[in-house]
Each structure stands twice: as structure tokens, then as C-alpha cells.
Amino acid sequence: MQLPDRFTRRSLLFRAAGLAVAGAGAATWEVEEAGAGPRAVSSGAVSCILSPEMTEGPYYLPREAVRRNITEGKPGTPLTLHLSVVNASMCKPIKGAAVDVWHADASGVYSGVQGVTGTFLRGIQRTDANGLALFDTIYPGWYRGRAVHIHVKVHLGGNVVHTGQFFFSDALTDEVYKSAPYSSRGNPDVTDAADSIYRNGGSKSLLSVKKSGSGYVGSIVMGVHTG
């Protein structure tokens, strides 16, 4: 049942923001200020929404290693991922979900496919009681035809409950790619706005990125359906 579900999420969003729902039957957001409404959702202030599903692409491999550090010595700007999984209907953190990530190295290459050996830049972590999974990796490189991205799958109880891709702002990519080892390849041939997958919900899959030491921390909350 889509309708009750939508209203449940909506009222929870208002509750999370400490606001009363003005009219439970109304089909639009009544409150746009003080941390509620679509603007707050897109800014990340309120994040209990269903993450958009996106293609897993051609380079997924099952049975990746369970490990926090997936770099295997691959050079690049350090990136720590703070990936949270919540139930998109109840807004509750999900403990014990297996978060599976994979991405290209600084030269735009994936491990284990297309004749490339190794398992670099692939891994799985279980979410903790706060729904949080952490990875230590590097900022991804780009490959032809795609904006910079990281692939993700979330497994729960043996089922895949989410398949998505994380994106970075073009401005951040431009900044990171000024340095080696990225600088020798120039900038991606596709911006976020020009990316066919980003155009279908990618703005809800932008990592929130903060500088940290010589690298960055990228955070996002994934709202998933569990049933």
C-alpha cells in the first residue's frame, strides 16, 4: 500500500523536525522552514526517505571480502565512507545489514573484471546498532561516459534491499583531481548533470563530504524498504 506508507513517512519527517502536521490529509508539504519539507530532505537535514534505486552496472562481483579498508595500497586521496542504513518507513537504523561497495581506482579501473586481477576497492561491512557501516578507501577515478561514483548494494537477511550509486559534486571532483594520481588524466568527460544515471535521482545520492586531514569523509543515509 503506497499511500499509507507515504503518509507515515511524511508524518515521521515532521515529528523528527519537532513540528506538528498541519493537515494529515493534505497532499503537499505545509511547512518549508525549520528543518522540514523537501528542502530539508535534499539538504540532508532530514534523511528518512527511500533511496533511489540505480543500476548495479556491469562490474558487480559477489562474495567480496568483509573489511573496512578496501584500498589494498591503491594510490589516491583518502576517503572514509560513513554509510548509514535506515528503514525508510520507520526511520529506524538497521543493524546487521551488509553494505557492499565497489568503485574504480584513480585510473578508472575496477578490480576483477575486464582482465584486471585483484580485489582492490571492493568490500563489505556490517552496520552497527546505529545502522552505520564504515569504509576506508580513496576518492574514485573516472571512466569514460560516467560521472564519478561509488556503487553500493545493501543486503539484509539474504536479500538485496537496495542497489544504488553515490555521487560527488563536480566542484569537489575538480578539486581532488588537481592532485596526483588523478591529475594526469584530467577531468571526467561527464559531469553529474550530464550523467544518465545521476539524472534519475542522483541528487538524493550525493555524498555529504567534509575535509578530514589529507582526505575527506563522505556520509550518506540510505533509506531502504526491508519487506
Binding site for Fe ion (CB under 5 A): 57
> Cα(159)–Cα(39) distance, rounded to whole angstroms?
32
Closest contact distance (angstroms) between CB of 197 and Fe ion is 9
- Name the DSSP letter for residue 93: B
Residue 38 to residues 29, 32, 42, 93, 140, Cα–Cα distance (Å) = 8, 7, 6, 21, 29
Pick 97 or 190: Cβ nearer Fe ion: 190
Pick 57 or 93: Cβ nearer Fe ion: 57
Pick 14 or 198: Cβ nearer Fe ion: 198
Closest contact distance (angstroms) between CB of 59 and Fe ion is 6
Closest contact distance (angstroms) between CB of 174 and Fe ion is 19
Pick 40 or 197: Cβ nearer Fe ion: 197
Closest contact distance (angstroms) between CB of 73 and Fe ion is 21
Residue closest to Fe ion (Cβ): 57
Residue 51 to residues 38, 45, 163, 206, 221, Cα–Cα distance (Å) = 14, 15, 9, 11, 8
> Cα(89)–Cα(43) distance, rounded to whole angstroms?
20
User: 81 near 74, Cβ under 8 Å?
Assistant: no
